[in-house]
Chain A
Amino acid sequence: DGGITQSPKYLFRKEGQNVTLSCEQNLNHDAMYWYRQDPGQGLRLIYYSQIVNDFQKGDIAEGYSVSREKKESFPLTVTSAQKNPTAFYLCASSTGTVAPVFGPGTRLTVL
């Protein structure tokens, strides 16, 4: 079955530490997205990529970085510059008029 996988499901980070969230898709979608979800604030776009080796900042990119070396993969690194990283992180992919397909999410907690 095609879909999006995110790992790990739960992640704990110490202050000052960088962590990387994995996102892989086998849907052959061109575009991939990272969203952050906080209670009562809906989904906020962190980064998106429409083709390999190219990506753009979303509304809340500060303190995050991404890469898109392969079509299937779009990892997100939460750096120590992100002062309030505790949140639920969602990865999605889409192509053309196909509605975005979401992964199961990663819950990041700062200790």
Chain B
Amino acid sequence: AQSVTQLDSQVPVFEEAPVELRCNYSSSVSVYLFWYVQYPNQGLQLLLKYLSGSTLVKGINGFEAEFNKSQTSFHLRKPSVHISDTAEYFCAVSEEGNQFYFGTGTSLTVIP
């Protein structure tokens, strides 16, 4: 089974500063990778996904992520954060569309 590690449980960052949320997964076999965002008391919304092709994936709200197969990582980045980006972010991995494994989440707090 896969395991997903989100290295930072909490990330505070000042408004308009860049941010990187880190995600590593355990297996080097062919995987699909996802980042989701969750606002309080809501379900998860898909930010972006990597299935194949270019290792740099662009998503909604100005987020992007880079797939690094050799380091089994899929870090999420945004060059300039806004107050509205304050939320919980989850990384997820799937082996070819079967079970989906989620990390424990990173709480991003944007400071005015």
Q: Which residues of A contact B (CB under 8 A)?
A: 4, 6, 33, 35, 40-43, 45, 48, 88, 90, 92, 94, 96-105, 107
Q: Nearest-CB distance from B82 to chain A (Å)?
A: 23
- Bitwise interface map of B from 38 to 82 toward A, beta carbon under 8 Å scored 1, else 0: 000111111001010000000000000000000000000000000
A40 and B97 in contact (CB under 8 A), knowing A97-B32, A99-B49, A105-B42? no
Contacts of A102 in B (CB 8 A): 36, 43-45
Q: Which residue of B lies closest to A41 (CB)?
A: B104
Give the total of B residues in contact with A, Cβ under 8 Å.
22
A100 and B41 in contact (CB under 8 A), knowing A42-B105, A43-B90? no
Q: How many contacts A-B (CB < 8 Å)? A: 49
Q: Nearest-CB distance from B59 to chain A (Å)?
A: 11
Which positions 67-112 of chain B face chain A at CB distance < 8 Å?
90, 92, 96-97, 99-100, 102-105
Contacts of A96 in B (CB 8 A): 97
Q: Nearest-CB distance from A103 to chain B (Å)?
A: 5
Tell me, yes or no, whether B27 is within 8 Å of chain A by CB: no
A90 and B44 in contact (CB under 8 A), knowing A40-B9, A48-B99? yes
Contacts of A88 in B (CB 8 A): 41
Contact of A42 among B34, B41, B46, B104 (CB under 8 A): B104
Residue pair A104, B105 in contact (C-beta under 8 Å): no
Residue pair A100, B42 in contact (C-beta under 8 Å): no
Contacts of A107 in B (CB 8 A): 41
Q: Nearest-CB distance from B101 to chain A (Å)?
A: 8
Contacts of A45 in B (CB 8 A): 99
